[in-house]
Chain A
Amino acid sequence: MEFEAVIGLEVHAQLATESKIFCACSTGFGAPPNENTCPVCTGMPGVLPVLNRKAVEFAIRTAVATSCRVQNRSVFARKNYFYPDLPKAYQISQYELPLAVSGHIDIERNGTTRRIGITRIHLEEDAGKLVHAGAFAGAQTSLADLNRCSVPLMEIVSEPDIRTPEEGGAYLRRLRDILVYLEVCDGNMEEGSFRCDANVSVRPRGQKEFGTKAELKNMNSFRNVEKALEHEIRRQIEVIEDGGAVVQETRLWDADAGVTVPMRGKEEAHDYRYFPDPDLLPLHIDEAWVEELRKTIPELPGEKIARLASRYGIPRYDAELLSSSRLLADFFEAAADAFGGNPKVTANECIQWKDAIVAGRMSPETIAHVVEDRETGTISATASKTLVEAAIGTGKPVRQIRDEKGLTQISDAGALEAIVDKVIAGNPKEVESYRAGKTGLLSFFVGQIMKETRGKANPRMVQEVLKAKLG
């Protein structure tokens, strides 16, 4: 029997706001434990939450960018459970009425477009972090660090539209790129500011009903999500083929062992007793605010890839690489526009020097000028690399470096001919052998000319002139 996987992904993105979602504390990463806290986020008696307008703005912009419908009225609810990292003993989240619903993201795979639906986007607060006994020298009990408490999170839930691990990976990368383009999330999966859980089930191809799903957690990179999905799909198919039934459960991805394992500990069926938080009024978002924010949405990765490919005539793959960062794509456009030559070469250079570009250590002129100089033969490919390396982080014009270092090639036909003549005259025996058929000696002559010019001769022109003269 042939099986098909049904996958839905739940992403928790930490919003890049300066302050927390319900108080004015900093969201800064890496502060000493419990430094970024106040009576509100530590759940002191009598405190009240006040919603961060910026967090709402970020969620609205995400909703607009993923074609979701922003709901005129959404409601914050309390999710009640006891845990030492949750000082109020409830998490403020959105439950029945989320901020936005019914959107989608298009992903392109092998020339076709797949539309992955987005069920909902809602806002909620993060919990703190527990450090258990033995985690560091002197830790004899479990300790709570509440710095993360009330850091704003946005949950983005996809429809079960994903069918393969690769599609899952492509959806996640595109979603991450969108959030980073919008500057609402730094997209860092390793640091936990972009987290993903997956719901996976399998069913015989052609069957309409969903199979029993498992929830996967603990996947901290895109690659791990894909691997965990692959493993889980294979596992479920094996269970069914062995005559068993998939159990609805939460499983953790063990990246080292490359397997998913059932979550240890008691499988308590939590009753979170959700109810609307009486401390927060329903959130009303009017159409005008959404429209105002719509104007702030930049060109998004999908549109940018298509436009770069068609406008500059570069391969789609290159356009995708360039568009993985808004800064890189802008840089490429500036470099390609500054020099009217072949954008494919410019694209290659941008991809090669991505790190320095994204770090803001290079100007588009550097790439534009080396690409132009290479095309006119003014510099060699080797010199081009040397020049770019020398220019990174200095702010010095690359052509000034070129002249200072004397990296210009001799591409003047007259000058080269004189040198070629001199070398031919100085090596009569070799000329004779070459003309007798030992054409392999051409490299000998090239070498002599390079020696004569201390490497500055344009190798392509040297060959042309030599061939002509040696006849």
Chain B
Amino acid sequence: MAGIPVHEWTLLDAARAVREREVSSRELTRALLERIDRMNPRINAYITILPEQAMRDAAARDEELAAGGARGPLHGVPVALKDIFCTKGIRTTCGSRILHDFDPPYDATVTGKIREAGAVLLGKQNMDEFAMGSSTETSWFGPARNPWAADRIPGGSSGGTAAAVAAGTCFAGVGTDTGGSIRQPASLCGVVGVKPTYGRVSRYGMIAFASSLDQGGPIARTVPDAAVVLGVIAGPDRRDSTSVDVPVPDYLAATGRSVKGMRVGLPREYFAGGLDASVRTAVEKALEALVSLGAEGVEISLPHTEYALSTYYIIGPAEASSNLARYDGVRYGYRSEGAKGLIEMMSRTRGEAFGAEVKRRIMIGTYALSAGYYEAYYGKAQKVRTLLRQDFQEAFAGVDVILTPTAPTPAFRIGEKVDDPLTMYLSDIYTIPCNLAGIPGISVPCGMSPDGLPIGAQLLGRHFDEEAILAAAAAIEREIPLPRVAPEEG
């Protein structure tokens, strides 16, 4: 890899180089910490950077290798986590003032798995507050910026992770996706993001937004890199009753699989109005790429698509209103000082430390669960959710994967939609149905807009068939070569 700067290496190359002792984990880690120092002031992708700890961990990984033992596939490789995964003794904020000083007493399962696989943790990445947002503008720690164009949003809520990966500050990151929060920022930052099947990755220690929709997954610069990280974090967990005991296949191998004969569904509802012309063109290119390799495009219908957004904005806030009730200032996190009584202390704490978008969703969710409204809202939304799931089941009887745009437009400007929640919510219109159905999805770069902004294609698969979407995404990636690291001065 002579001549290629470290920050542009793939994760697979970096892991191999460490394993074969061409480079030490310390050298890699130092290089990326320097890269963070250079890039982060511009993109604000990290809430917490861990230089000393990362160098210490890197040294330990080097010693382990010298003693003849590699921990796992990420041995010595510097990565980072969205600041939603609990890290024992390392501040975990969830992008909120209410947890601005919270040091978890335990590690999330994902954190533990990343460490067991040998990864070095560089830091905790910026995100929309409690993962509620599509632009990373709702973070208490200030908005993250798109490395391709610093006046634009990186997407959200895992915007910090996608921006950090695209800026070459880490080899991969783990984000979370409740309605598109991995795929949409991956698309807007020109990187790869996987939302696994619900139950594929443990949610233990991943701070809950909407429990029935949340799922952790990798963001990386290539499909094989994402596949390796997915293999590390996937698997059943006895601490998460909703994790599913399905064997973890060789995801990396799946990325080399041929797509010949693969049936690719194109839902007509996803190519209707509101879709940016450059996005449409790029996604059509992705289809052409698959067809050129022997896949077959099939037009399909997902008839309940138009109800997905409203269903999501009932179920998500309802669960969030309950999940976020624990932040009351009693045991940890921000507490409003000087309140006279208990109720006042709790109300002021929540009033002062939650941002507007979080409050909006708590109120929507509280209303939707209220006596007398439950059936009309939450009950109805659950029924529609079943219909949406059936849409996909029926579609997958005839196709192997479904190809759609990931987001309706390339990255928009910071501040453009922040005061218009409904427009903002529409950025997730193509990603939300996948969470409601619990199926896996991936976003893979497939083109650039005339303004030089990345565009992603989304592939959706059957429950626990991450292999099919990885295979198709890897094929698109090979056929449509695109730069994966943003230019220094975007």
Contact = CB atoms under 8 A, between A and B. Distances in A.
Contacts of B205: 46-47
B241 interface: yes
Contacts of A144: 330-331
B102 A45 contact: yes
A280 interface: yes
A43 B85 CA distance: 15
B106 A278 contact: no
Interface stretch (A11-19, A86-94, A358-366): A86-94
B335 to A, nearest CB: 12
B211 interface: yes
A46 B330 contact: no
With a 10 A CB-CB cut-off, give which of A48, A89, A271 has the most chain B CB atoms. Answer: A48
A273 B370 contact: yes
Contacts of A351: none
Interface string A30-57: 0000000001001111111111000000
A84 interface: yes
A261 interface: no
A441 B322 CA distance: 89
Contacts, number: 99
A193 interface: no
A275 B325 CA distance: 14
B371 A271 contact: yes
Contact of B106 (A44, A80, A84, A271): A44
Interface in A253-274: 271, 273-274
Contacts of B240: 48, 50
A45 B369 contact: no
A80 B325 contact: yes
A389 interface: no
Contacts of A279: 208, 211, 241-242
B330 A90 contact: no
Given A50-B241, A80-B325, A273 B366 contact: yes
A424 to B, nearest CB: 88
Contact of A89 (B328, B370, B378): B328
B325 A82 contact: yes
A195 interface: no
Interface in A270-289: 271, 273-275, 278-281
A185 B199 CA distance: 35
Nearest to A275: B369
Nearest to A40: B239
Chain B interface helix/strand/loop/mixed = loop
Interface residues of B, number: 45
A275 B326 contact: no
A44 B242 CA distance: 18
B233 interface: no
B105 interface: yes
Nearest to B206: A46
A78 interface: yes
Contacts of A45: 86, 92, 94, 99, 102, 104, 207-208, 326-327
A51 B325 CA distance: 22
Contacts of B200: none
A43 B203 CA distance: 15
A141 to B, nearest CB: 11
Interface string B332-367: 100000000011001000000000000000000010
Contact of B374 (A39, A51, A275): A275
B204 A44 contact: no
Contacts of B85: 46
B212 interface: yes
B459 to A, nearest CB: 26
B328 A39 contact: no
Given A39-B105, A84-B342, A275-B378, A48 B326 contact: no
B319 interface: yes
B448 interface: no
A281 B212 CA distance: 10
A90 B326 CA distance: 8
Contacts of A39: 104-106
Given A46-B206, A82-B328, A275 B318 contact: yes
Given A82-B346, A273-B322, A280-B241, A43 B206 contact: no
Contacts of B210: 278
A105 to B, nearest CB: 32
B108 interface: yes
Contact of B326 (A49, A89, A278, A281): A89
Contacts of B371: 271, 273
Contacts of A42: 331
Interface in B98-125: 99, 102, 104-106, 108
Given A43-B326, A82-B325, A51 B104 contact: no
B204 A281 contact: no
Nearest to A90: B322
Contacts of A84: 328, 330, 342
A281 B241 contact: yes
Contact of B241 (A46, A49, A271, A275): A49
Interface in B194-219: 203-208, 210-212
Contacts of B238: 50
A212 B82 CA distance: 55
Contacts of B370: 271, 273
Interface string A87-110: 111100000000000000000000
Given A82-B328, A82-B346, A87-B326, A46 B369 contact: no
A44 B208 contact: no
A88 B326 CA distance: 5
Contact of B242 (A78, A274, A281): A281
Contacts of A274: 369
Contacts of B332: 44
A50 B105 CA distance: 19
Nearest to B325: A89
Given A88-B326, A271-B370, A275-B369, A44 B105 contact: yes
Contacts of A278: 210-212, 242, 319
A269 to B, nearest CB: 9
Contact of B369 (A47, A51, A273): A273
Interface string B378-415: 10000000000000000000000000000000000000
A90 B369 CA distance: 13
A75 B326 CA distance: 22
Interface string B442-479: 00000000000000000000000000000000000000
A45 to B, nearest CB: 4
A46 B208 contact: yes
Contact of A44 (B104, B239, B319): B104
A89 B85 CA distance: 21
B86 A48 contact: no
Contacts of B84: 46
Contacts of B326: 43, 45, 87-89
A376 to B, nearest CB: 64
A144 B332 CA distance: 13
Contact of B239 (A48, A90, A271): A48
A88 B371 CA distance: 21
In the complex, the 10 A-B pairs of residues with the closest C-beta atoms, listed nearest first: A89-B325, A278-B211, A273-B369, A278-B212, A46-B205, A45-B207, A46-B207, A43-B326, A46-B86, A39-B106
Given A39-B105, A78-B322, A278-B210, 4 more contacts: A45-B104, A48-B240, A51-B241, A82-B346
Interface of B: 84-86, 92, 94, 99, 102, 104-106, 108, 203-208, 210-212, 238-242, 318-319, 321-322, 325-328, 330-332, 342-343, 346, 366, 369-371, 374, 378
5 contacts: A44-B86, A48-B204, A80-B322, A82-B343, A84-B342
